[in-house]
Amino acid sequence: MEERACEHCGAKLIGRIDKRFCSDQCRATAKNSRKAQNAGERLMKEVNTKLRHNRFVLQRHSPEGKTTMRREVLLLAGFDFRHFTHLYRTKQGNTYYFCYDYGYLLLEDDKVLIVNWQPYMQ
């Protein structure tokens, strides 16, 4: 009988004939390393990290849900205006950029209006 080895760590496998990994930990580690090598997965992770950070910055600077501030304050906090999850356009033609449930409207004089997502914005 042929001796089989774990695809991740090389340990001897005992049990089912189609078993590929010696433990759940080896299976998860092997899957995570395959995902890390995939450029698309890395890009998705980087973008999602930026989106979460943007949401955190908006939340921190607007605890009441509606705040006006200078654009520079958000930039100093690490906010990246290139990354947002969706847009909301008003009937007046204003475009709100959202990072999940927090959004912002670019105003004149380098100011930004921070808002929370509202049900009527569907």
Domain that holds residue 56: 40-121
Instruction: Report pLDDT for 64.
Output: 82
Closest CA to 28 of 6, 46, 49, 3: 6
Secondary structure element (H or E) that encloses residue 103, with its range:
strand 102-106
Kindly state whether residue 86 falls inside one of the protein's structural domains. yes
- What's the total number of domains in the chain? 1
Tens-place pLDDT, residues 27-37? 999 998 887 77
Kindly state whether residue 7 falls inside one of the protein's structural domains. no
Residue 19 gets the label, from left (phi > 0), alpha (psi -120 to 50) or beta, of beta
Tens-place pLDDT, residues 38-90? 888 889 989 999 999 999 999 999 988 799 999 999 999 999 999 999 999 99
Secondary structure element (H or E) that encloses residue 105, with its range:
strand 102-106
Kindly state whether residue 65 falls inside one of the protein's structural domains. yes
Kindly state whether residue 10 falls inside one of the protein's structural domains. no
Kindly state whether residue 27 falls inside one of the protein's structural domains. no
pLDDT surpasses 70 at 1 = no
pTM of the model: 0.72
β-pairing, 102-106 vs 111-116, is antiparallel
Closest CA to 66 of 28, 112, 115, 8: 115
Kindly state whether residue 8 falls inside one of the protein's structural domains. no
Please report the DSSP string for 14-81 in residue order.
-S-TT---SSHHHHHHHHHHHHHH-HHHHHHHHHHHHHHHHHHHHHHH-TTSEEEEEHHHHHHTT--T
Tens-place pLDDT, residues 16-26? 888 999 999 99
